[in-house]
Amino acid sequence: MAQRPAAVHRSWLPEANDPTTDFQLTHLPYNAFRVAKGQHLCVAIGIHLLDLYACAETGLIPSNLNVACQSPTLNALMAKGPKAWLLLHETLTRLLATDSPHQSKLEEALHSIAGATLIRPIDIPDYTDFYASIHHATRVGQLFRPDQPLLPNYKHIPIGYHGRASSIVTSGTPILRPVGQTRPDAGDEMPNVLPTKCLDYELELAFYIGQTNPLGSSVPVDKAADSIFGCSLLNDWSARDIQSWEYQPLGPFLSKSFATSVSAWVTPMAALEPFFISTHSRPDTDPRILKYLELRSKERKIPDLKFEVFLTTRLMRENKLSPFRLSQSSLRDLYWTPAQLVAHHTINGCNLQVGDLLATGTISGPQESSAGCLLELTRNGSRPITLPTGEVRSFLSDGDEITLRGFCEKRGHPRIGLGECRATILPARP
């Protein structure tokens, strides 16, 4: 990743200096919003959106980035590579910093986030979901394979499956309860076709690919970070009863392809640099990692992102109760890093495309309170959660709303928040 100069922390926009906001000057996450003739790219600053199309039109953007900034999606910018990404991020930071001489021009390009219709800013050609949390993999294994919770290949190979890009939706889009085939009831010969009774969420992080590799080539693990443009929150909705019937021998299919929610905010990796930490060392008892996945010390870095999951039921909304926090977890607990996911994805010569989404899989920590889905938290429904209203949940009910949040905090650096990934469950189609 290209090196950036020391960050400027203060903006001439007062709201951007609020220590509680997700969108301070050092962040500037990308999004897109609806305009009369389509959509414009933007960045968030405090409670505002800065229209990148308008900035390019008034000559505030480097000329070699004008076309990319006036495109409807981020894909054109992503294709330009890490130096261009850093140039734009630093340009926008200077424009919005306290001593900027361009305030009057910029004010004309500002819009309220609250009044804007946000649109997913990346065209996603393909989607791969991984299984990078060893704590999640172990707990799920304990539920279904108590004699062998972790399969022998897990510590050798990043496990993944091919997801469905066409059903990725933006935060705020309601999720219809899916219908599918489930295991036959006791005494029955035939399976059932009905709405899932075991709808679940999965807290994940999405990474967006900004650099392609030609078909037949691979991306070395020490170069993989340069191919990642940014990240956002992701909810991999899962129908557990459909999944348990269909997943053998080829893995999940209809149990997950009905919908995946992402935050519309895309955080550039450059903004997360101050929060990078070294990953946990593997125990000496773990098998030696294969060379193509081996990280040198300087590549053992991931952003120290912390996550929270909240549930709000219909009854809670009616009684104006605050969302109930289900869990807290951290990206630092992943077994496989984003760089390793990229390197493994391409070792066979698979060509990644600009805009491809690679998801971490459920992010869970070592404690039960850090589990990233209801399957873990309720032990597959055997230990329901009691909510402040007295309601109980083993899995999600119609009207339930799930909200994912993520953030970085570090002394001496402004807080960075990933916004939210939120959706409400609607009844299955008639």
Query: Parallel, antiparallel, or unpaired: how do β-strands 192-195 and 179-182 relate?
Result: antiparallel
| Cβ atoms within 10 Å of 46's Cβ, excluding its own | 20
Task: Look at residue 298 and tell me whether its pLDDT is greater than 60.
Answer: no
Task: Decide: helix, strand or coil at residue 183.
Answer: coil
| Cβ atoms within 10 Å of 410's Cβ, excluding its own | 12
Task: Look at residue 186 and tell me whether its pLDDT is greater than 90.
Answer: no
Residue appearing with tokens 């006036």:
70
Tokens of 53: 């199309």
List the one residue out of 64, 62, 29, 73 whose CA is nearest residue 48.
Answer: 29
Spatial strand order of the sheet with 175-176 comes to 175-176, 413-426, 401-410, 306-312, 324-330
Task: Look at residue 50 and tell me whether its pLDDT is greater than 60.
Answer: yes
Confidence of residue 301 (pLDDT cuts 50, 70, 90): confident
Amino acid at site 324: F
Confidence of residue 4 (pLDDT cuts 50, 70, 90): very low
CATH number belonging to the domain at 14-119, selected among 3.30.70.270, 2.30.30.230, 3.30.70.1520, 3.50.50.60: 2.30.30.230
- pLDDT score of 286: 94
Residue appearing with tokens 């949940």:
393
pLDDT (average), residues 324-330: 98
Tokens of 279: 């990953």
Q: What is the DSSP string of 100-165?
A: -S-HHHHHTTEEESTT--EE--S----EEEE---HHHHHHHHHHH-TT-SS-TTTTTS--EEE--G
Q: Which of 287-296, 297-306, 357-366 has the highest mean pLDDT?
A: 357-366
Residues of the chain with CATH 3.90.850.10: 127-426
**Cα(280)–Cα(220) distance, rounded to whole angstroms?**
21
Task: Look at residue 8 and tell me whether its pLDDT is greater than 80.
Answer: no
- pLDDT score of 297: 64
Catalytic residue, chosen from 136, 162, 280, 345, is 136
CA dihedral 376, 378, 381, 383 (to 10 degrees): 140
Tokens of 289: 């990692």
**Count of residues making up the chain:** 430
Tokens of 48: 């505002």
Task: Look at residue 368 and tell me whether its pLDDT is greater than 60.
Answer: yes
Distance from CA of residue 204 to its chain's centroid?
5
Note if 136 is an active site residue. Answer: yes
Tokens of 49: 């959106």
Secondary structure of 305-374 in HEC code, one letter for each residue:
CEEEEEEECHHHHHCCCCCEEEEEEEHHHCCCCHHHHHHHHHCCCCCCCCCCEEECCCCCCCCHHHCCCH
Integer Rg of the chain from CA: 22
Task: Look at residue 274 and tell me whether its pLDDT is greater than 90.
Answer: yes
Secondary structure of 255-270 in HEC code, one letter for each residue:
HHHCCEEECCCEEEHH
> Which of the pair, 9 or 10, is modelled with greater confidence?
10
Residues of the chain with CATH 2.30.30.230: 14-119
Tokens of 195: 């709405």
pLDDT (average), residues 183-187: 89
Percent of the chain exceeding pLDDT 90 equals 92
As to burial, measured by CB atoms within 10 angstroms (0-12 exposed, 13-18 middle, 19+ buried), residue 163 is buried
Task: Look at residue 306 and tell me whether its pLDDT is greater than 50.
Answer: yes
- pLDDT score of 384: 98
Phi, psi of 101 (to 5 degrees): -85, 5
pLDDT (average), residues 63-84: 98
- pLDDT score of 6: 46
pLDDT (average), residues 54-72: 97
- Per-residue model confidence as pLDDT tens digits over 130-174: 999 999 999 999 999 999 999 999 999 999 999 999 999 999 999
> Is the pTM here over 0.85, yes or no?
yes
- pLDDT score of 424: 98
**Cα(353)–Cα(75) distance, rounded to whole angstroms?**
10
Instruction: Among 93-97, 182-186, 278-282, name the one with the lowest average pLDDT.
Output: 278-282
Phi, psi of 317 (to 5 degrees): -65, -40
Beta bridge partners of 277: 302
Task: Look at residue 5 and tell me whether its pLDDT is greater than 90.
Answer: no
Q: In the CATH scheme, what is the code of domain 127-426?
A: 3.90.850.10
- pLDDT score of 116: 96
Confidence of residue 7 (pLDDT cuts 50, 70, 90): low
- Per-residue model confidence as pLDDT tens digits over 11-39: 999 999 999 999 999 999 999 999 998 99
**Cα(277)–Cα(334) distance, rounded to whole angstroms?**
12
Helix (H) or strand (E) segment spanning residue 271: helix 269-272
Distance from CA of residue 340 to its chain's centroid?
17
- Per-residue model confidence as pLDDT tens digits over 214-261: 999 999 999 999 999 999 999 999 999 999 999 989 999 999 999 999
- Computed over every residue of the chain, the mean pLDDT equals 95
List the one residue out of 259, 269, 252, 194 whose CA is nearest residue 26.
Answer: 269
- HSE of 346, CA atoms in CB hemisphere, 13 A: 27
- Per-residue model confidence as pLDDT tens digits over 103-131: 999 999 999 999 999 999 999 999 999 99
- pLDDT score of 280: 76
